[in-house]
């Protein structure tokens, strides 16, 4: 199974090389950092490969401002063609639009499936996931799809997990004096992954896995 380095400190080490280039669902509650995880990977990929970042409601300026806070300036990537934003909120042929970018060997970010589910039928989003999976044979790029837990029905969340090739869940627990964050690789089609939760922090430089601390 191919593995591609994510550029996230600690994660590539733990996974002994990186993540497979699958259609990956990144699921988390608001504030868990799943969007930071996706953008950090995309930024690392854009140094050598092309990225297509799909938005639904957020603007490109909003995304760029948020990324700049972590030191991820994508201006150069936009200028050299390694990064492009596309909005699919009003795109009736959004499945075809996404597949077209995949065929150009771009890393794909969809921000987010939850927002798509607010304006499109579940069946249409399923069609997107299945089309991406069919198109994903022998690819060497990530396809990262964001999902915000609680924005859709539990049935829709389970459905999205079923049709994705891989599922990574981001959990955050707040207490009076601390914040505990961990990720779980819940599913990864075609390969065996460690069934462990990994603690992480979000620093000024982004997502960092605490490799010394694992939760069984």
pLDDT reported for residue 175:
85
**Span 89-143, pLDDT tens digits:** 988 899 999 999 999 999 999 999 999 999 999 999 999 999 999 998 878 899 9
| Distance, CA of 78 to CA of 39 (rounded, Å) | 14
Fold that domain 22-160 belongs to in CATH: Rossmann fold (3.40.50)
pLDDT at 215 over 80: no
153 CB-contact burial (10 Å; exposed 0-12 / middle 13-18 / buried 19+)? exposed
pLDDT at 216 over 60: no
Q: What is the pTM of this model?
A: 0.94
Instruction: Write down the domain spans for the chain.
Output: 22-160
User: What percent of the chain clears pLDDT 70, i.e. is strictly above it?
Assistant: 96
DSSP code string of 28-55: E-TTS-HHHHHHHHHHHHHTTSEEEEEE
Distance CA 42, CA 44 (A): 5
Q: How many CA atoms lie within 13 A of 111 on its CB side?
A: 23
pLDDT of residue 190: 76
Mean pLDDT, range 10-35, rounded to an integer: 92
pLDDT tens digits along 175-193 = 888 889 999 999 998 777 7
Q: How many CB atoms lie within 10 A of CB 19?
A: 24
pLDDT given at position 196: 78
Residues 14, 206, 104: CA angle, nearest 5 degrees = 80
Q: Is 110 exposed, middle or buried (0-12, 13-18, 19+ CB in 10 A)?
A: buried
Q: Check pLDDT > 60 for residue 213.
A: no
At 6, phi and psi to the nearest 5?
Answer: -85, -25
146 touches 110 (CB < 8 A):
yes
Write down the pLDDT at residue 212: 52
Give the length of the chain: 216
Angle between helices 34-46 and 60-68 (to 10 degrees): 90
Strand partners, 9: 208
| Tokens (6 digits) for 124 | 């249409």
DSSP states along 149-164: TTSS-HHHHHHHHHHS
């Amino acid at each position: 199974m191919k593995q591609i380095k994510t550029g996230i400190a600690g994660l590539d080490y733990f996974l002994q090389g990186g993540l497979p280039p699958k259609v990956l669902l990144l699921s988390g509650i608001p504030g868990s950092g799943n969007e930071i995880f996706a953008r950090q990977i995309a930024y690392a990929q854009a140094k050598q490969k092309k990225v297509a970042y799909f938005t639904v409601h957020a603007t490109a300026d909003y995304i760029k401002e948020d990324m700049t806070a972590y030191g991820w300036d994508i201006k150069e990537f936009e200028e050299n063609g390694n990064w492009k934003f596309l909005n699919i909120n009003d795109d009736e042929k959004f499945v075809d639009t996404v597949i077209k970018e995949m065929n150009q060997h771009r890393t794909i970010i969809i921000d987010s499936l939850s927002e798509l589910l607010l304006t499109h039928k579940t069946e249409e989003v399923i069609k997107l996931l299945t089309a991406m999976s069919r198109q994903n044979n022998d690819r060497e790029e990530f396809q990262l799809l964001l999902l915000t837990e609680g924005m859709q029905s539990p049935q829709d969340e389970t459905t999205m997990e079923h049709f994705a090739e891989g599922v990574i869940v981001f959990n955050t627990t707040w207490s009076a004096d601390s914040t505990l964050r961990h990720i779980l690789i819940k599913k990864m089609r075609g390969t065996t992954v460690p069934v462990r939760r990994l603690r992480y922090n979000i620093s000024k430089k982004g997502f960092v896995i605490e490799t010394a601390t694992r939760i069984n």
